[in-house]
Amino acid sequence: MRTPSIEDALIDAVLLNWRVYSQCAQIVEPTDFASERLGKLWKLLAEMISEGAAVDVVTVSQRCDIDRMVLLEAQDACAISAHGLDYAHAVRLAADRRMVARKASILSHTALDDSDPITLAAETLAGLRTRQRESATSAAELLPARYEQLSTPRDFIGFPNFPSVHLHAGDMFVIGARRGVGKSALAAQIADEWSREYPTRIYSLEMLKGDWADRLIARHAGVSVNELDEGLTHEQAEVVRLLTSDLLTLELSIADHISTVDALIADIRRFATEGGKIAIVDYLGLLVSKGRGESRYEAVTEASRRLKSCALATGIVLVVLSQLSRQRDASGRERVPSLSDLRDSGAVEQDADGVLLLHRFTPDDMKVREDLSKQWDVRDLTGLETADDLAQFDFAKMRRGASFVQPMRWSGPGQYFSRVPKW
């Protein structure tokens, strides 16, 4: 059996996750493969995907007149679908080099015959430049296709309780907050909402699966996490079962055994092939470990880049929680977080398609309550025990919309956030 090539790796990446093909096909054509058999296989993959057929080793081998050994050799490449674009660029680069070598050979053999060598060289270079431009698409080609789809709603996932926040396949959305503010509680809340319609998975690096179950129960049954710790009476337990029975239908799974970026990406890839739509990572800082001679900033940047590539390759909506460092203003109060706090965490902000900064105000911050009353109906807050229940959602970065700030109410016992209405 021959040694697997980069072309095998590209085929293997698509077999692992067919969603990789659409982006790779913009870079690589069947004629770019040095192996004619792999080129035919690439063309077959295009046909099957356009038909909506399932794409894996079994289905492809049933449609393929190529020796099954070709598929087995491609699988031996042990590719990672998240690296599909890297494989595609490498295949394209090798094809370009072969083309240049062929053109150079033609020029060397014809330079001394009766042909005009300058004209021949110019025509050869023009052909190479044309190929170089093929990777770009003109607006004249893009817009007509988009015009035809303007009346058709695009597929997107709405952020719970915020209908103007749209998340698309391949997006990476970051939730940043300081320790103890409630980012894990918010993750449980949005996972609860999303999993009623979309297969959702939480990757928990901070809590065990049972802790997430307690948060779901507390939110729906009106009991606190402390009460669950202390144990309920038989009667209370029966009531909880009745109140939370609908949670058994959630398309929600929780993984608490993932500890490395490689393991996370591999599991997200499997989850996507099983029909998964949303992955939530709690949280990025616990996932990252520094390599030798590498700063934490560089480690976080590399992890962020790989996670974004994974989201694009799999079509998953990826929600990443990030812990912010505590910062205080001149008066000693804890400062409301801003995007600059997230910039200290590698290139997370640049990779993110959207950023939500979560903040809860201290009990003695009465100025916040006074300022809030000018625009928001704080009468809904008069029964709150402390001003700790005041929070703020700052949608600080929105790639597809305008940023905005929304005051929120925090329920400690129920472990959830709710909106404060405007006047």
| Residue 145 burial (CB count, 10 A) | 9
When pLDDT is averaged across residues 41-57 and rounded to a whole number, the result is 79
Which tokens sit at 140? Answer: 């004249």
Of the chain, the end-to-end C-alpha distance in Å amounts to 73
Which tokens sit at 84? Answer: 């599909």
Q: pLDDT class for 278, splitting at 50, 70, 90?
A: very high
Question: Are 82 and 265 spatial neighbours (Cβ–Cβ below 8 Å)?
Answer: yes
So what's the pLDDT on residue 299?
77
φ, ψ (nearest 5 deg) of residue 289: -130, 140
Which residue type sits at 267? Answer: D
The fraction of the chain above a pLDDT of 90, given in percent, is 18
Alpha helix ranges (H) inside 291-413: 296-314, 339-343, 348-351, 366-373
Question: Are 160 and 349 spatial neighbours (Cβ–Cβ below 8 Å)?
Answer: no
- Per the prediction, the chain carries an average pLDDT of 80
Q: pLDDT class for 386, splitting at 50, 70, 90?
A: very low
| Residue 15, pLDDT above cutoff 60 | yes
So what's the pLDDT on residue 199?
95
When pLDDT is averaged across residues 28-57 and rounded to a whole number, the result is 83
More confident residue, 261 or 190: 190
| Residue 72, pLDDT above cutoff 80 | no
So what's the pLDDT on residue 67?
59
Q: State pLDDT tens for residues 199-221.
A: 999 999 888 888 889 888 888 88
Which tokens sit at 87? Answer: 């494989």
Alpha carbons 347 and 302: distance in angstroms, whole number: 8
When pLDDT is averaged across residues 148-170 and rounded to a whole number, the result is 90
Q: With residue 358 as reference, give the H or E element that holds it.
A: strand 354-360
When pLDDT is averaged across residues 124-146 and rounded to a whole number, the result is 68
So what's the pLDDT on residue 74?
62
The candidate with the shortest Cα–Cα distance to 298, out of 252, 357, 369, 347, is 347
When pLDDT is averaged across residues 275-300 and rounded to a whole number, the result is 77
Alpha carbons 13 and 157: distance in angstroms, whole number: 26
When pLDDT is averaged across residues 173-186 and rounded to a whole number, the result is 90
Residue corresponding to tokens 């057929």: 53
Domains and CATH numbers, the chain: 6-146 (1.10.860.10), 157-419 (3.40.50.300)
Question: Are 337 and 191 spatial neighbours (Cβ–Cβ below 8 Å)?
Answer: no
Distances in Å between the Cα of 156 and the Cα atoms of 212, 316, 387 are 26, 11, 35
Alpha carbons 56 and 162: distance in angstroms, whole number: 38
| Residue 397, pLDDT above cutoff 50 | yes
Cα 119 from chain centroid (whole Å): 50
Distances in Å between the Cα of 287 and the Cα atoms of 32, 78, 176, 281, 358 are 38, 23, 15, 9, 21
CB contact burial 99-130 (16+ within 10 A = b; e otherwise):
beeebeeeeeeeeeeeeeeeebeeebeeeeee
φ, ψ (nearest 5 deg) of residue 182: 120, 25
| Residue 88, pLDDT above cutoff 80 | yes
So what's the pLDDT on residue 166?
93
When pLDDT is averaged across residues 383-410 and rounded to a whole number, the result is 80
Q: Is 173 helix (H, G, I), strand (E, B) or coil?
A: strand
Q: With residue 396 as reference, give the H or E element that holds it.
A: strand 390-398
| Residue 384, pLDDT above cutoff 60 | no
φ, ψ (nearest 5 deg) of residue 64: -100, 135
The fraction of the chain above a pLDDT of 70, given in percent, is 77
Per mean pLDDT, which range of 5-19, 151-165, 266-280, 322-336 is the poorest? 322-336
Q: With residue 416 as reference, give the H or E element that holds it.
A: strand 416-419
More confident residue, 250 or 388: 250
φ, ψ (nearest 5 deg) of residue 180: 80, 10
